[in-house]
Structures are given as C-alpha cells and as structure tokens.
Amino acid sequence: MIAGITGDPLVYLNGDFTPLSQAKISVLDRGFIFGDGVYEVVPVYARKPFRMAQHLERLARSLAAIRIPNPHGAAEWQDLVQQLIDTSGADDQFVYLQVTRGVAKRDHAFPEHVVPTVFGMTSPFARPSAVQRENGVQAVSMPDERWLHCEIKSVSLLGNVLARQFAVDRGAQEVVMFRDGFLSEGSSSNIWVVKDGRLLAPLKNHLILEGIRYGFIEEMAAARGIAFDMRPIAQSEVAAADELMLSSATKEILPIVSLDGRPVGNGRPGPVYARLRQGYDEAIAAL
C-alpha cells in the first residue's frame, strides 16, 4: 500500500502499462539521484483533456531547456494520455507525465547513450470544492528562495515543497512569494492581483512557471474586456490589492481572501474572480 493511494491503478512506464505496485525504476535513475527531469500535470474533465496542446508544448520546452530529447511527438503523447484516461473510471482526472534523463552511473555531467525514462499516471481529480470557490483560501507571504530557472517545469521541487510546507505550518493553503521585493508566484500556482478593476500578472520570465492557466486567463481577460497588465508587481501592491487569486491545473482559479492573516480587499471573493470563474466553468462545459 502506498500512502494516499487506493487500489492498484495502471500506470505507464517506458512503453508498458503496469499496476502501480509493479512499476519500478532503477535507483540510479537520474530523476531519483539528481532530480534531473521534467513533468506536466494535465487536467481532464468528463474524460477530455483541457488545453492538451499547450501542456505538450510546455513539456517540449522544458525538455529542450535541459537538453533531454523529446521521446515522443505530440500525436504519440496524446495517444498515451488517452490510454491513461481509458484506464480510469473517473470522469475528472489529472494526468501526470514525467520524463527523466534516464539511468546511468552517477556522474553530474550528462551521460552518453542514455534512454530517457518516461512515466505517466492518472488520478481522480477532486475539483476545488464549493466551499473553496465561494469562501476562498488563505495565503502567507515568503521570500522566493528557489533557483533562477523557474520557467522549467522541473521535478527538482525542493524549494516548492519547502514553500508549500511553510504555508501548511501556518494554517494557510498557499504561499505568495517575492523575489527582491517583487511578486513571483505560489509554491505550485501562479498568483494574480486585481487593483482598481485591472488584472495584474508578473512578467513571463525565468522567475515563474508560465502556467497553462496563465495563458488561458490572459485570453479570458481579453475576451471579457478585463483590463490586463503584465508587469513587475511590488510587494506593497500585493498588500494593497483589491483581489488576489491563484491558478493551477489542480486548483483552477481560486480567490485568496486573506494574506498573512489580514483580509484581501473586503475579505470576500471579488468581482474579477467571479467573471474569470464563470469563464473557466464555461470553457470546461464546452469541452
């Protein structure tokens, strides 16, 4: 038994579908030894992947950034994801894909002639609850202590893991991180600010992961006439925000109603959140 997992679902490993309990990799896998790999989390609604093309493009970018050859073309990845979805009885799922550099004698430099390890699994997706959507979540601020290539969706997540635990230890659900006094992102989400009806997001650069929802929310803002600025956002602006939100594959969009124990705006989910939430739900219903 693995903590938190019921049953023995099928997973994909290097070309085969295997029960999770039988899926094994070498202890010399560079994902295990060095965190030398990348991943994706693709949400699936009513058995249909959401924004799959964008997730596969980001996977290709992450792989290229760390010079792992992409083991599959887009059509093969789509086929693999579909097969994973078919193994599950759940309508809403999230599919996890991971590629590591492969198995080799331990040496920091890239090994030659190594075959990437490809792993995929799907899990039932419990979408954010009505309580979370209507009451929002709590967040706490912290300095961003991660490395300088946060644009790569790397499995080296120690900085993110410690950041999330920082929130949990303080009874909050997420952190809002700042680097040199400017907003970066959450431990596993992008962070959004609303001031005077304008939606603000940090620049897409090496200091944040460009979420697939980042692009989607940008599109929704344009389609719905919400003024949108992408620019450096000072910590003082976050502290004075009318609304704060987070977005991720698993959290969708959620309002942050308190930061460091103080209410954000009036302490209730705001009107810009409500419009984006409606757009999100409409897009999912139209899948």
Binding region for ligand PDD (CB under 6 A): 41, 160, 185, 188-190, 209, 211-213, 247-250
Judging by DSSP bridges, how do beta strands 252-259 and 137-143 pair with one another?
parallel
Specify the amino acid at residue 273: Y
Round to whole Å and give the CA distance between 94 and 74: 18
Smaller CB distance to ligand PDD: residue 58 or 103? 58
Smaller CB distance to ligand PDD: residue 176 or 194? 176
Q: Is 153 a catalytic residue?
A: yes
- 3-state DSSP assignment of residue 213: helix
Round to whole Å and give the CA distance between 136 and 267: 9
Smaller CB distance to ligand PDD: residue 104 or 233? 233
CA distances from 258 to 15, 174, 178 (A): 46, 11, 17
Round to whole Å and give the CA distance between 284 and 89: 19
Looking at residue 111, what DSSP letter applies? P
The residue count of the chain comes to 287
Smaller CB distance to ligand PDD: residue 110 or 178? 178
Task: Using the structure block, give the residue that is written with the tokens 């490993």.
Answer: 13
Catalytic residue among 24, 48, 105, 153: 153
CB of residue 102 to ligand PDD, shortest distance in Å: 22
A 10 A CB-CB count for 136 gives: 24
CB of residue 106 to ligand PDD, shortest distance in Å: 26
- Residue with the CB atom nearest ligand PDD in the bound state: 211
Secondary element (H or E) of residue 10 = strand 10-13
Smaller CB distance to ligand PDD: residue 103 or 272? 272
Specify the amino acid at residue 85: I
Task: Note whether 148 and 180 are within 8 A (CB).
Answer: no
What phi and psi, each to the nearest 5 degrees, are found at residue 55?
-65, -40
Round to whole Å and give the CA distance between 279 and 210: 20
What phi and psi, each to the nearest 5 degrees, are found at residue 176?
-115, 115
The two structure tokens encoding residue 36: 């030398």
Catalytic residue list: 153
